[in-house]
Structure 1
Amino acid sequence: MMKKMRNLHLWIGLISSIFLLAEAVTGLLLAEPWLIGQAERGEMHRAIQEGSAFGAGQASGAGSSAVPMAPRAEGGSSLMMFIRQLHEGRIGSLDIRWAVDLAALAMIILTATGIYLSIRTLAAGRRRKQKRMSPAPETM
């Protein structure tokens, strides 16, 4: 039973980590477009506000992330406002984008090394299984 649980955990972790890696990499690139030679965060924000394909008024507040967001509902809860600010890399007037970027880098490193270690574990298990299945050489 424990071996099946371990295998289930390994495969679910391996498959979901691919999606997590994609989310972390694309999130970092959206937060820091200069990493791929795109306009700086402020320039992208102005372009969105001036009426890009996403439409005016859907971008987040001035000086924040250039990622377009859904229109805000009036009178939102303070919890929702706090969550939105965290997502944008700020708490009140405190700029914590560096911490969000650092967390994204940590997720990328942990996920990539987890994928690597999972693949090595699977390969080692396959080699052990092949060794057990192959007949032992006869000795005289």
Structure 2
Amino acid sequence: MRKMRNLHLWIGLISSIFLLVEAVTGLLLSEPWLIGQTERGEMHRAMQEGGTFRAGQASDGGAAAAPVAPRAEGGGTSLGMFIRQLHEGRIGSLDIRWAVDLAAVAMIILTATGIYLSIRTLAAGRRRKQKRTPAAPETV
């Protein structure tokens, strides 16, 4: 049982770091004002307008080599479209970005406190192990 608990602890600790990065970057992409931008980036605008966006394209209209195809609005299954709408923060015409942002903030808090508690658990286990191990006698 102890091995299973340690496995759970380490897998949870390692994967929570990636989850934390995903939640923070997702929130920053969703709410660009958090990093000092006034609106979403050029690529997002180009995709919303149905145009093409070239990787490395500058705001002054500079060209680059790799075009990215616009997103097809009519294609896909209804489940796929529903998932895309949820990811963009809407259900049909209802704007739920606030709920997505709230979920991201909750994930950040839960993940950060989980990492903190995991580190404390590991430190307590290390201290407990050191107390059980008697100090080696010194030889002079």
Fold similarity call, TM over 0.5: yes
Give, in whole Å, the separation in 1 of the partners of 2:54 and 2:29. Answer: 16
**TM-score in terms of structure 2 length:** 0.77
Q: TM-score, length-normalised on structure 1?
A: 0.77
The one-letter code of the counterpart of 1:23 is E
Distance 2:84 2:45 in 1: 19
Look up the match of 2:37.
38
Partner Cα distance (1:110, 1:85) in 2: 25
User: Aligned residues, how many?
Assistant: 123
Q: Which amino acid aligns with 1:31?
A: S
- Alignment map for 1:122-133 (pairs within 5 Å): 122-133=122-133
Summarize the alignment of residues 2-41 of structure 1 with structure 2, pairs less than 5 Å apart.
2-41=1-40
User: 1:44 Cα deviation (Å)?
Assistant: 6.7
**Alpha-carbon distance in 2 for matches of 1:56, 1:37:** 27
Unpaired stretches in structure 1, ≥5 consecutive residues: 59-70, 136-140
| Partners of 2:43 and 2:53 within 8 A in 1 | no
Q: Give the drift of 1:38.
A: 1.4
**Quick check: 41-50 or 111-120, which moved more?**
41-50
Alpha-carbon distance change, 80 to 27 in structure 1, aligned in 2, over 3 angstroms: same
Q: Percent of pairs identical after alignment?
A: 80
Separation of aligned partners in 2, 1:45 and 1:72? 14
Q: Which amino acid aligns with 1:53?
A: R
Residue type matched to 2:30 in 1? A
1:63-112 deviation per Cα after TM superposition (whole angstroms, max 9, x unaligned): xxxxxxxx338531100000000000000000000000000000000000
Q: Give how far 1:125 is off.
A: 0.1
Q: 1:39 to 1:52 in 2, by over 3 A?
A: farther
Where does residue 54 of structure 2 map in the other structure?
53
Can you give the 5+ residue segments of structure 2 that lack an aligned partner in the other structure?
56-66, 136-140
Which amino acid is 1:93 matched to?
S
